[in-house]
Amino acid sequence: MLAKLFAGEEAWVVGGAVRDDLLGRTALDLDVACRDPESAARGLVARQGDAVFPLNEEFGAWRVVLDRSRTVDFSPVRGGSIDADLAARDFTVNAIAQPVTGGAVVDPFGGRADVERRLLRTVSPDAFDHDPLRLLRGVRLEDELGFRLDPEAEALTRARARLVTRAAGERILDELQRLSADGIERAADLGLLEPLGGRRDPRLRAFESPWFRLAVTFGENLKRLPIPGGLRRFVGILLRAQPPEDDSPRAIHRFRRVTEPFALEALAYVGAAELAGAVEQARDHEPAEPLLRGDELGIEPGPEVGRLLELIAEERAAGTISTREEALELVRRSLE
């Protein structure tokens, strides 16, 4: 596909795709360095592709979406040559180029040897100054690939840790969400969490979820980043959660009312994970239909309707009522 697109032209597959190929990993997304990214992108989408759009207009990068899931990103060759382009990259394992039309791999910094050693070395001492997001990327590559920063790269990360706040918030969030609990702890050890408002938390492994790890690590400070609405709601629910009084159906109902659909995560957050079974049982026995609808209460629409419907739902959960007639009687008594 790419070989035909670049027949007679110079272009190179670069970055993570080359590294992953050396590791025997399937690379769904490709990065290609070439002379004319826009022309290449439009040429590819005309042959095979779902969409094409500028990825970074200032830098001149373009993206093609294939099969609605895979992507090919085209970027200009920085510095006028592939050697100069690779010299501007982050780690040696990402500074390897494979000619699209065939030929010898370009590996001026010994990246292939570092892949074999599972070692992350920076291409240059100022790699983090040019792009502070690389500080988090190093941790994420350690975490995902089982690599390790070499002593110089680790020392440089610690020395430059406070630069991490200069990266774009969306990119910071993307890297953080990909970290496991081990990755979060490694970031803390390297001094990368504190500048972002994070800290070690003993609840880190209480629930297996990227959002949960972010919530316990950053708390309210997570809202400094451009988090999506769903994550914002999740964090708000966890921060407001209070432990159930006990494992009674009434207490569990009240807890679920303010924490669903994240009741299990909220239990872990408040240190009451032993009640997870009670929450799961309540979910399993959730009635398919309410005993009464709002328009069946016999009162004018307003806040009182919501109060009565919740009263009915709680008493039903507690087992004090189970029929429509009992619900109507409860409403009558409540309005007296």
Q: Tens place of pLDDT for every residue, the chain, 336 residues?
A: 777 778 778 999 999 999 999 999 988 789 999 999 999 999 998 888 788 899 877 788 999 998 877 899 999 999 989 999 999 999 999 999 999 988 899 999 999 999 999 999 999 999 999 999 999 999 999 999 999 999 999 999 999 999 999 999 999 999 999 999 999 999 999 999 999 999 999 999 999 999 999 999 999 999 999 999 999 999 999 999 999 999 999 999 999 999 999 999 999 999 999 999 999 999 999 999 999 998 888 888 889 999 999 999 999 999 999 999 999 999 989 887
How far lies 268's CA from each of 29, 178, 188, 208, 276, in Å? 36, 21, 21, 10, 9
Domain enclosing residue 269, as ranges: 241-284
- Pairwise CA distance, residues 332 & 336, whole Å: 6
Q: Which of 199, 21, 39 is nearest to 107 (CA)?
A: 21
DSSP class of residue 112 equals H
Distance from C-alpha of 152 to C-alpha of 40, rounded to nearest angstrom: 38
CATH number, residue 1: 3.30.460.10
- Distance between CA atoms of 105 and 270, rounded to whole angstroms? 53
The reply to whether 57 and 95 lie within a common domain is: yes
CB 255 within 8 A of CB 279: yes
d(CA 48, CA 51): 9
**Residue 12 within any structural domain of the chain:** yes
The tokens describing 114, both together, are 């570092």
Number of domains in the chain: 4
Residue with tokens 């919740």: 310
Other CB atoms closer than 10 Å to residue 101's CB: what's the count?
A: 15
Regarding whether 127 and 99 lie in a shared domain, the answer is: no
For strands 61-66 and 51-56, give the pairing: antiparallel
Domain shared by 42 and 147, yes or no: no
Specify the pTM: 0.89
- Residue 72: which H helix or E strand, with range? strand 70-76
Residues 9 and 28 both lie in one domain: yes
| CA angle centred on 182, ends 181 and 183, rounded to 5° | 90
User: Is the omega angle on the peptide bond into residue 261 within 30 degrees of 0, that is, cis?
Assistant: yes
Q: Please tell me whether residues 318 and 257 are part of one structural domain.
A: no
- Distance separating alpha carbons of residues 87 and 90, to the nearest angstrom: 8
Amino acid at 333: R
Tell me phi and psi for residue 56, to 5 degrees: -150, 100
Contact at 8 Å (CB) between 199 and 217? yes
φ/ψ of 247, rounded to 5, equals -100, 20
Q: Are residues 106 and 205 in the same domain?
A: no
Q: DSSP states of 241-284 as a string?
A: ----SSSSHHHHHHHHHHHTTSHHHHHHHTT-GGGHHHHHHHHH
Name the β-bridge partners of 52: 64
Does residue 106 share a domain with residue 16?
yes
